[in-house]
A = this chain, B = another copy of it.
Amino acid sequence: MRDMGIAARAAARELARAGTDAKNRALRAMAAEIRARTAELLRANREDLERAKNEGRDGAFVDRLTLTPATLEQMAEGLEQIAALEDPIGKITGLARRPTGIEVGRMRVPLGVIGIIYESRPNVTADAAGLCLKAGNACILRGGSEALQSNQAIAACVRAGLRTAGLPEAAVQVVATADRAAVGHLITMNEYVDIIVPRGGKELIERLARESRIPMIKHLDGVCHVYLDDRADPEMAVRIADNAKTQRYGTCNTMETLLVAEGIAAKVLPLIGSIYTNKNVEMRGDEATRKLVKDAKPATEKDYYTEWLAPVVSIRVVKDLDEAIAHIAKYGSQHTDAIVTGDQARAERFLREVDSSSVIVNASTRFADGYEYGLGAEIGISTDKLHARGPVGLEGLTTQKYVVMGHGEVRN
């Protein structure tokens, strides 16, 4: 691992100098390699799949591990999309002359070396490599050991792409061992690695955060709320409550708790309840909710803290905006929260006072996503407050340094 760190550090220095053209050429060449080596990639993936099946892995696991010609094409297209994004590196902004004569501005630069630890989704290998490269960073990728053959085959395509563009192959290194100790080394080599991005379940991320000696961009819980204000358009309220919960159940930006102002509850909750019942969504509500929705079971205190990631929803009738904001502050995870209201002043209070990475007015929480926000791609959604918060695209993989242009000035 130490040798990989040294090689990554040297490659990072070269990448920081690399022009946009070279980086884009590498990304397009990687895409071409993936298309050209489809048979080889599927063969490597089959080895992983067979082992997973022999080890009795469940269907969802095998699903995530599986590569198909269609997913490989998506991977190639993803790299081409990253090539088409604007290069964040090198721009100087805010240059202003100071009374002393010096001009001070900031230049966007790469972070350096990024370590990415993820579970058994081989598509992350190409995706993370592409994003790190475009932002001028070297990366060390450590995917789940169950995807080892697939990841190595993808890594070969990535290296070939780097070679084509004349960039150092060590710009993207994929850990080639299933040995779990490698992760422990990666998260403590602070001499060679500037930042760790863990992608995976909450338990993995919490453990890494405890043990890491390197700053992380990490993603923990998504206990997201939608608050239906009594000044909401009822039809819009129902539509958003439906979509935020049922459009996909397993994503971090899915609503887990629905808060309804008592002034609108009688009008919208019965209808929302029947929609959830029809879609087999289990409801857990307070007393006021259960009076209006007969299918709802009683909610416990713990339910309101729970990220269901499943067809289950917690519901609570609240007095007003204040009570909604207080509920979110107490039970929420500062990920994504939405208000549905026709009242501009209330919308503004919600935007300002709810301390979450995304605050949304009159739209579904499901929009909290790098693609939907126009970042082009995302490496994850940060629930941290420092550095990058919310969906993290290319900009989140960079930092800024101060640049000073003088004309011989010295300080008095």
By a beta-carbon cutoff of 8 Å, the part of chain A in contact with chain B is: 13, 16-17, 90, 96, 98, 100, 102, 104, 107, 109, 111-112, 194-195, 215, 233, 236, 239-240, 242-244, 247, 329, 338, 351-353, 355-364, 366-368, 372-374, 384-387, 389-391, 399-412
Smallest CB-CB separation from A398: which chain B residue?
A: B385
**Among A16, A236, A360, residue most surrounded by chain B Cβ atoms (within 10 Å):** A360
Which residues of B are found within 8 Å of A215, using beta-carbon distances? 215, 384-386
Closest 3 CB pairs of A and B: A363-B406, A243-B410, A366-B411
Which residues of B are found within 8 Å of A404, using beta-carbon distances? 338, 358-361, 363, 367-368, 373
**Bound-state Cα–Cα, A384 to B190, Å:** 12
- Whether the Cβ atoms of B410 and A112 lie closer than 8 Å is no
- Within the complex, which residue of B96, B390, B399 is in contact with A401, where a contact is CB–CB below 8 Å? B390
Which residues of B are found within 8 Å of A329, using beta-carbon distances? 13
**Bound-state Cα–Cα, A374 to B364, Å:** 41
**Bound-state Cα–Cα, A366 to B411, Å:** 6
11 example contacts (A-B, Cβ-Cβ < 8 A) are as follows A13-B353, A100-B372, A247-B411, A356-B401, A359-B404, A360-B404, A361-B405, A362-B407, A363-B408, A364-B406, A389-B402
Which residues of B are found within 8 Å of A403, using beta-carbon distances? 351, 358-361
Which residues of B are found within 8 Å of A13, using beta-carbon distances? 329, 353, 355
- Whether the Cβ atoms of A102 and B402 lie closer than 8 Å is no
- Within the complex, which residue of B367, B402, B407 is in contact with A409, where a contact is CB–CB below 8 Å? B367
**Among A363, A364, A403, residue most surrounded by chain B Cβ atoms (within 10 Å):** A363
Number of copies: 2
- Whether the Cβ atoms of A16 and B352 lie closer than 8 Å is yes
- Whether the Cβ atoms of A358 and B107 lie closer than 8 Å is no
Measured CB to CB, the closest approach of chain B to A197, in angstroms, equals 12
- Whether the Cβ atoms of B17 and A352 lie closer than 8 Å is yes
**Bound-state Cα–Cα, A196 to B310, Å:** 37
- Whether the Cβ atoms of B362 and A402 lie closer than 8 Å is no
- Whether the Cβ atoms of A364 and B401 lie closer than 8 Å is no
Smallest CB-CB separation from A97: which chain B residue?
A: B374
Measured CB to CB, the closest approach of chain B to A66, in angstroms, equals 25
Which residues of B are found within 8 Å of A100, using beta-carbon distances? 367, 372
Measured CB to CB, the closest approach of chain B to A394, in angstroms, equals 15
**Bound-state Cα–Cα, A302 to B393, Å:** 40
Measured CB to CB, the closest approach of chain B to A256, in angstroms, equals 16
**Bound-state Cα–Cα, A104 to B352, Å:** 15
Which residues of B are found within 8 Å of A104, using beta-carbon distances? 372-374
Which residues of B are found within 8 Å of A364, using beta-carbon distances? 406, 409-411
**Bound-state Cα–Cα, A374 to B96, Å:** 9
